[in-house]
Amino acid sequence: MDSTTLGEIGRWFEEESTALVLYARQWLDPALAEDAVQDVFVSLMQQAQPPSQMKPWLYRAVRHRAFKHLRARRRRVTREERVASEGSPWFEPRPDDAVDAQQAELALRALPAEEREVVTLRLWGGLTLAEIAAVTECSLAAVFRRYHAALERVRQQLGASCLTKIN
């Protein structure tokens, strides 16, 4: 792999690593999520040719890697690890946020896993619904249905406080 491609991969790392770690954290604790993302970039550098569609490839690779870690660690996860994982926030609260970060995280955690995955890929990964369908290996209609349902659930979960903050 030449230096131009390595530079391009470095740029993708700078731009997407945060969203990729957030995506992996749906299934893994923070440390394992970071390991999964790092493994994906290392394997990307070992490829002779970079993938044609880099962004969907990265999310699909992180998804596979996260499932692999999850299967390996499922039996070994202790209660302390689960608590530590839940204690680490998903979002950094900022004063100019339109919604409360903590409440948004709670609402997202309450979602079914497949709906949460679609929302994460769309809102923080920036993938189109067609790309999400390719990553999650389901139909476009199913992706849209999950996305719409997830937003409805979050809106109901956040309630009036969220709506007033938005407005």
Partner 1 sequence: MSHEDQLNSAAQELARALAGLSPTGHRLDRDMLMFRAGQAASRRLLRGWQSVACSLAVLLLGFAWLGHSPALVPTPPQQAKEIRPPVVQPTEVEPDELAAATASRWVSTNLGNDYLRLRARLAAEGLDALPTWETTAAPAPIESVADGLRQGRRQVPRTRWLRRTSEPGGTEQS
Smaller CB distance to partner 1: residue 75 or 83?
83
Q: Cβ of residue 80: shortest distance to partner 1, in angstroms?
A: 20
**Please, what is the end-to-end C-alpha distance for the chain in angstroms?**
50
Cα separation of 83 and 20, whole Å? 22
Among 28, 32, 66, 104, binds partner 1 (CB under 8 A): 104
Q: Cβ of residue 104: shortest distance to partner 1, in angstroms?
A: 6
| φ/ψ (deg, to 5) at 125 | -85, -25
Q: ∠ CA 91-83-119 to the nearest 5 degrees?
A: 35
- Residues in Cβ contact with 75 at an 8 Å cutoff, skipping those fewer than 6 apart: none
Residue bearing tokens 């929302």:
119
String of contacts with partner 1 for each residue 8-37, x by CB under 8 A: --x--xx--xxx-xx-------x--xx--x
* Token representation of residue 81: 């690890």
Among 46, 52, 78, 164, binds partner 1 (CB under 8 A): 46
Among 32, 61, 111, 119, binds partner 1 (CB under 8 A): 119
Instruction: Output the CA–CA distances (angstroms, integers) from residue 67 to 15, 90, 104, in the order listed.
Output: 23, 19, 24
Give the interface with partner 1 as residue ranges (CB under 8 A). Answer: 6, 10, 13-14, 17-19, 21-22, 30, 33-34, 37-38, 41-42, 45-46, 88-92, 94, 97-99, 101, 104, 119, 122-124, 129, 140, 144, 147-148, 151-152, 154-155, 158, 162-163, 165-166
